[in-house]
Every structure is written in C-alpha cells, then in structure tokens.
Amino acid sequence: MNTGILFIILSLVLAYLIGSFPSAYIVGKLRSGVDIRDIGSRNMGAMNVFYRVGFWWGMLVLGLDIGKGALAVGIAIWSGTHLYVQMAAGVMAVIGHNFPIFLKFRGGKGGASCIGILVVLMPWGLIIYPAIFGILLAITRFPTLSYSIAFLAFPFIGAFLNHSLALAVFSIVLILLPGLRYIPRIVEMYHKAGGRWKHVLMRRGLKDRL
C-alpha cells in the first residue's frame, strides 16, 4: 500500500478512536457513580458535568474534550497529510465523540472537540473565540449559548485571516455536527421555559438551567 494512503487511513482511524474517549462518562462514573448520559441534559459533555458533578470536574472534561479535537488534527498535521485530510480527521474526532465505539455508539454532541479542531487549524481562534465567548457570557449568563454563537467567528477567521475558503466552509460544516444534534435540547428547554424564548436565551445566573 502507498505510504501516503496508509498515513491518511491511520490518521482518520486514530482521530475516530481519540474522539471516542468518553471523558465525561469516565469522570461521572469515577466521581459520582453516575452515567452522565442519564442525568441532567443527558449529554455526555462538559456542561452536563459542570452542573451535575462539579465545576472543576467540568473544567477537566472541557479540557480533555478540547484536547481530543486538537490531538486528532495535530496527528494528521504531523503525518504530513493534506489540509483536506486534516479537516477529515477533525470530522472523524467529532463522529467518535458522538458515536463512541467504547460506549456502544451512544455519546455526546462534540462541541468542545470542535473548539480544539478549529483552533489548531486556525490559531487566531485562540484569541478571538474566547473573547467573543466572554462577552456573550456576560450578557446572556448562558454558557452553552455563548460558546455556540462564538463558533460563528471561525468562518470569518478562515476567510479573512487564514485566506482560505476551504477552512471557512469547513468550519460551517463542522459546527453543524453538534448544532443539529442540539435541536431537540433547544425544544426541550423551550417547553421547560413555558414557551418563553427570553428565558431560554437569557438566564438569571450561571446556575439557572432549564
């Protein structure tokens, strides 16, 4: 087999396996003896751990999940693969998080992993993304909404700072992966808020959760 093709295959397989590492599930089990997928928002992600296990445990999961995305793309870059393969590795990492082989393909949404993927491919995001997130969080007091909207910076970073249409399009496609999976949760919050979008979008405090 051609060495280049072998590196591509290995990069994509490793990206999926890295993405499959169930950090939120492991922390939930070890710290509280719970399956994080069965409590709270039932999402295997950092925010559910924040609310149901503890702030610093949530921070640990956030760091690990961001790291998964960064590592998956980093390996593809280190392997000398083309940009398109690096982007494919990012997609595979998110797929791994969403459908982890270690948990019978029942995982989370992959938002945090998207941060790591996009920041590695577009380092300007390391400055711009947190700044936008911080501003939005101060306004909405809703972390999930804030980091979701902040993702919209990446298409512009790709187009105008990296001068790459491919990265701009890729960032849109990538953030749709967790975004589409989050729609049922939005509907759930809307009903819990009594049909009031203001409460869905603007929270009374960081602990206010629907």
Mean pLDDT of the chain: 95
pLDDT above 70 (res 1) = no
Helices 125-140/111-121 angle, 10° precision: 140
Percentage of the chain surpassing pLDDT 90?
88
| CA-only gyration radius of the chain, Å | 17
pLDDT of amino acid 206: 82
Instruction: Quote the pTM value.
Output: 0.95
For residue 209, what pLDDT is reported?
Answer: 86
Q: Looking at residue 4, what is its pLDDT?
A: 86
The CA distances from residue 44 to 61, 103, 172, 180, 205, in Å, are 10, 11, 23, 16, 23
* pLDDT band per the 50, 70, 90 thresholds, residue 88: very high
Mean pLDDT for the stretch of residues 52-72:
97
| Band of residue 205 on the pLDDT scale cut at 50, 70, 90 | confident
Quote the longest CA-to-CA distance of the chain: 59
